Structure 1
């Protein structure tokens, strides 16, 4: 007999090794892990709205008998039972979940009735579990109702000692009522809480009309109903969330305006957006006030108590309450709740619409009520069978007693009863164990009555099981009972969506002086910082320039103005005044590249307010070389961040000034050497942006254009001329006779060693204020009427007293109506400051 060769152990081990591709193994392992997290930890089930840890805590309390009508138990006891029997994870995770279910500011309808410190809206943690106590809230018991009646499937717990429910019967749609938040692998869920009564009404609507649309259901479910109240901004985002399963709902704090202490105002915050930390909000508001980000707040304090939120924000007298409110909303008191209605459907994650969510819940309740009815029917039929046996025994009571008495033991008695009277085994067992007292006539009447009741119950249960409509009627009846017992008023309201709060809404509207230097430093300052003084003054410091830098441009604008900024190179940029950093008078400014994308050799030469432009307005431009051009304002509607071309310039020419005209004005072009020409703007036909224009004035020698004034005889009284050495004059309009363009013009002002060359010309009227800024950073503000009115071809008077080597760099005029508005605002602020001082 031949012997088999010995088997090499290494060959055996090698045969047991499976060869797999590592990327396939890693992919499958990761998918297994992800699904474990998705199904076993992070996502709620669409049927009961609970994640496993919530379900296990409630079931553990149910098994412990810690219900709403028992005394509280130590939280550590509940955590221990849950961890030991059902949830093999850390006790801190279980306790955190228990705490969350007990917090009235976290759950719309808390599922745990806590006793002790369970944290606060300020982010304070709950006390340790050994110090707190808990029991089930009464509404939580509705989630577990009838769980003993085979209404849901059970699975083995982690160590196969016990079983736990895969889902709870859930007598109401808890996923929508209390919402859910969770982060799984590659997905997350964020379902907002809702009002119980509204959700139940929508569920009943869908039961009655399975073809109901989301819009129909929204007649009942108005939107999320957060436990902390507040207000949802607009309804479109809610509609999108209900229609698609995803949406971004803006939630705004509830604020009230109160008057106190001699008409001072304060903002009182009474409700905060959901899941916001109140203490942190108050802290951040205080920080922004200290840093000057939010202005107008005099005092801030938290007066909240057990009755509710009350954060008091007292305003300085004269502060604009709407501006402060908008600042608070943008930074602190408005948040976005990103709705992701993701839940497990048959163990798979799915994003659900409002209708789909309720449809799955209705299907669940149909199964629960069906299984419960079948369970009750089986019990009723068993009971009816026993009662039939008892009634039969009572009819033959003497023979039954005799048969039992003659039997040797109970087994023999049961057998004899079955053979003699045709009792079933269950009936015979019951009769053998009956007491003699149950054979009385009164007991017999009670059995008869009970039998009739059981038969009626069997008939009713059969109706429910045989008719889907009866089944649905039961579901609706039970939902109405839940609503009647637990429904309350909606807490979250709605406010009109007037659009996102813009940065402009947060900036007080005030006149500003904007300064730009040759080295491209820019800043803005309140015009009110510069008091009007008599002509001939030195003014006050307006910018502390670095050595070698000079002021190149100054202009006036309201903080809310949208400006067109023209450069000497013929390009135009768009700027919002509030985008310019506000700084003090002695500040240098910040780099203009953060505000305007200017080329390195470009300088601003003119600024126009976009508010002055309509479809019938023109931008009238003049160049140093004497060219003038009109272009329709609507050609400047779309301006890139890098600017667009406003005019084509010849070599050596530069754009010096721009005015808004309406087709019926006169233009006065002034030159550096003191010449001026007046002609009707209609002599300049409208041209496109890239045109060069036509000649407006003939220049002699090295003369160049200084600026242009657009005159409306109904609005203006004088032409104001200012020279670089600080001299100037007002001259009546009549002194400038109208002639054709492209002439040499007339002498406007003498330009000699004293006056220097002309800096600018402007059309002015009574009440206007002149702002003149020197190259070294001095700003002088004076009333136009303080400057003498004299004729043409004169020397003028001192407007600004300049230091040696300094010169007027630029001027701008604040119109009389804006001076009046500024004065009114200043007086209001002064009154507020005086009251604050008192």
Structure 2
């Protein structure tokens, strides 16, 4: 240890606490957080002030960026050239700043996060709006402080006329806190500030929202939902959901999603590459191609869809898995009197106005002093104008300038300053014309002096000036809002049902397991005995087996022949035209190769607890076994399906029907026999059970072909419709089928002759319903139930559809007279 020095013991824990607090406050105040008054961090302020000192204004020529960086670095900001240049770049990038403060020339990067060119290649100058931030800085409007080496002075804040923190926002990460302030539209912001002034500073946040609608991002996009906006307006904290702006186009015969605007701060190339990765990983299978067609005229990203893909469902996936939807977490923290504070939207307006009042007071004091000094000089001029000859004689007789000054002070009762100003007068100022100008200037300055004193002492005069200057800013720089607001959005809980119309559709399933969804409007009604329309081109050795009429928002429960249950939303089924082939069910659900979907149940709601507890699923197997289970047990399906029924050997699940527990059950055999019994005769059991006998097959190789369940209260309002394999059908009265116990052999319902063919379908129908019949060849006919005659049980019926070339009926579906709710 050197002589004279001494060691002072310090507790290391206390020293670390103290040092860390000093470091964190230095970061918070000197780097990370903006000042609430001008909305700038020190480095941004120094860049603008450095350009001001170099006279690089909007009307000046561009100067090399390296020159400005050197100026700022050498005089004000000793933290490295990269930090200064990066700041300049961000202030010039149109997709980062809503109202850029720097006009850049050269390569300043791109939306793809391409780096800017080196500072020796790029050039910059101020934007016109930046000059409004530095206006009146030479009039002692703000405090100055010494720079890092105490050789120069720099402003602690800029005397900005624009509410920069509101219109450009800010972001930064300090120690233990962060700020993230979104940009807003200048026109809306100024209108809100003016309304706040007019309300005598009492405008509520609820009324401010009427002027400033929401953030306005430079890249546009859509703010989805409004609760996040309200939250941060009120508290300074909130979460915004931002979506890309898109539209649907048809390009070369394929539907395409075209992106016109992407969310704020999203890297375009990263978003596209991640989307391609999702396609390769199989998370998004509906996309055929992704293309970036952006150019200097604007952004354009094209998502080309595969055939028969629903754009709304795909768009929902893109919002969920890609940056087409992002979140902006608002946290308004700024420095107020040197301390970090959480602020709401009203606080930002209030603090900006406090700053403008302070600037105007200081500017007025400066101008008033200049005005008073000039009036004082002019008063001296006016005193000697009437005695010019005497004044000139005194000056001529003086020994020197000091002697002349003293004589003028004594003889004309002037101040030293007035005397020196008179001695500095040119002779041309003594002409009569110039004398008149002096008098006019004096009178004008007296008026100006009165006005400036009013500004100082009257609050209302200052607010009028602030408002007038703001309206001038609005006139010069305002533009239209770029970011749209979707008030109906549900705050990020993506509800695909909001995007898809709940219209009636036709679901067709082939024998080989191909499924598709088609709008019901594509099938026009025909008369009985027609030939039908082409429904689809069946694959080789395949034919159409099932036909269902549903609505888009319903759930479709799928039951396999081995007794497993899966479920889908109807809108998740691939859409196709009448002639398309559909998509394999195995590609939609996780179905084993040796299993096959045999039965389908349409359910209105699987989330309503009351609904699922009041409904049951009634099942029947090929051998006549029936089973009833509460719908509640099927409301939580798993990826690999759940057990619905235990199937015995040589049997398979054939049909499933949704009931309310008080229905009459009709089970039909292909031999043409039907049994009718009360659903109450079948006790509800769990999913892992066998069931009980519903009907007895009395003929060898006979089997169940269908089952219907009709509620007790409506059973007499309709008819029992039966359809045979060869296209014959008829309606019969319900009373023709007596109510018996389950397990019987049933009664005859149709003569199954060679001409008629075996029974293939039974339906409960009403007069106003329609019927859709599909052939194995894919031909579909839609006919009115009222066209089919009511006949007795023991008849063969009438021809419903003409069959050719050994064709046969594949399935029959009923169309309800109104959309299912």
Length-normalised TM-score, structure 2: 0.73
Aligned equivalents of 1:645, 1:328: Cα separation in 2: 29
Contact 1:572-1:646 at 8 Å conserved across structures: yes
In structure 2, the partner of 1:111 is 101
Query: For the residues of structure 2 that align with 1:130 and 1:481, how far apart are their CA atoms?
Result: 37
Pair 1:144-2:134 in alignment: yes
Deviation at 1:506, TM superposition (A): 9.4
Q: CA deviation at 1:274?
A: 2.2
User: Alignment partner of 1:384: what SS?
Assistant: helix
Distance in 2 between the 1:205 and 1:397 partners?
A: 57
Q: Take 1:346 and 1:151, find their aligned partners in 2: how far apart are those partners? A: 16
Cα distance, 1:190 vs. partner?
2.0
Runs of at least 5 residues in structure 2 that lack an aligned partner in the other structure = 519-534, 576-581, 647-651, 698-702, 749-759, 765-770, 782-792, 795-809, 816-821
Unmatched 5+ residue regions in structure 1?
1-8, 516-522, 541-554, 594-602, 722-728, 749-760, 772-779, 785-790, 793-812, 819-838
Distance, in Å, in 2 between the alignment partners of 1:569 and 1:312 is 44
Distance in 2 separating the partners of 1:445 and 1:35: 60
Report the counterpart of residue 94 of structure 1 in structure 2: 84
Q: Aligned-pair distance for 1:455?
A: 1.1
C-alpha displacement of 1:84: 0.8
1:51 maps to which of 41, 46, 62: 41
Residue 680 of structure 1 aligns with which residue?
677
Q: Identify which of 659, 662, 665 aligns with 1:667.
A: 665
Per the alignment, residue 214 of structure 2 pairs with 223
* Deviation string, structure 1 residues 672-717 (Cα, Å, up to 9, x no partner): xx999833336449979899999776999xxxx9998235595764
Name the structure 1 match of 2:175: 185
1:64 alignment partner in structure 2: 54
Cα contact 1:695–1:742 (8 A) shared by 2: no
Match of 1:618 in 2: 615
User: In structure 1, what is the equivalent of residue 463 of structure 2?
Assistant: 472
Please tell me the root mean square deviation across aligned C-alpha atoms, in Å.
Answer: 5.5
- The separation in 2 between residues aligned to 1:681 and 1:571, in whole angstroms, is 26
Whole-angstrom CA distance in 2 between matches of 1:496 and 1:510: 33
Relative to 1, partners in 2 of residues 1:295 and 1:425: Cα closer, same or farther, differing over 3 Å?
A: same
Q: CA deviation at 1:362?
A: 0.5
What are the within-5 Å matches in structure 2 for residues 300-319 of structure 1?
A: 300-305=291-296, 307-313=297-303
Instruction: Note if 1:75 corresponds to 2:65.
Output: yes
Distance, in Å, in 1 between the alignment partners of 2:114 and 2:55 is 30
Q: What is the Cα deviation at residue 376 of structure 1?
A: 0.7
1:619 touches 1:658 (CA, 8 Å); kept in 2?
no
Shift of 1:320: 4.5
Q: Distance in 2 between matches of 1:311 and 1:615?
A: 44
Shift of 1:138: 0.8
User: 1:740: Cα distance to partner?
Assistant: 3.1
Determine whether 1:442 maps to 2:439. Answer: no
Which residue of 385, 388, 393 corresponds with 1:394? Answer: 385
Deviation at 1:526, TM superposition (A): 6.3
Give how far 1:203 is off: 0.5
Residue by residue, what CA displacement relative to the aligned partner does 1:89-140 show, whole Å, maximum 9, x if unpaired?
1212211111111122222221111122222223222221111111111110
Closer, same or farther in 2 for the Cα pair 1:132/1:636, shift >3 Å? same
Q: CA deviation at 1:476?
A: 0.7
Distance 2:310 2:517 in 1: 18
Aligned to 2:806: none
Q: Is the 8 A contact 2:549 2:814 kept in 1?
A: no
Secondary structure at the residue paired with 2:180?
strand
Q: After superposition, what is the alpha-carbon deviation per residue over 1:136-194, rounded to whole angstroms, capped at 9, x for unaligned?
A: 11110000000111111111111111111111011010111112122222322222222
Contact kept? 1:556, 1:814, Cα under 8 Å: no
Aligned partners of 1:527, 1:465: CA distance in 2, in Å? 76
Among 376, 383, 387, the residue aligned to 1:385: 376
1:478 is paired with a residue whose SS is helix
Match of 1:168 among 158, 165, 173: 158
Q: How many residues align?
A: 729
Residue from 317, 330, 342 that aligns with 1:339: 330
Deviations 1:244-302 (A, max 9, x none): 222222333333445676x8665543333222233444444555566662536567341
Matches within 5 A, 1:200-219: 200-209=190-199, 210-219=201-210
- Equivalent position of 2:188 in the other structure: 198
Other structure's SS at 1:19 match? coil
Contact 1:709–1:719, Cα closer than 8 Å, also in 2: no
Match of 1:740 in 2: 740
What's the CA shift for 1:417?
A: 2.8
Q: CA deviation at 1:377?
A: 0.6
Q: Give matches, 1:534-545, under 5 Å.
A: none
Scaled by the length of structure 1, what TM-score is found?
Answer: 0.71
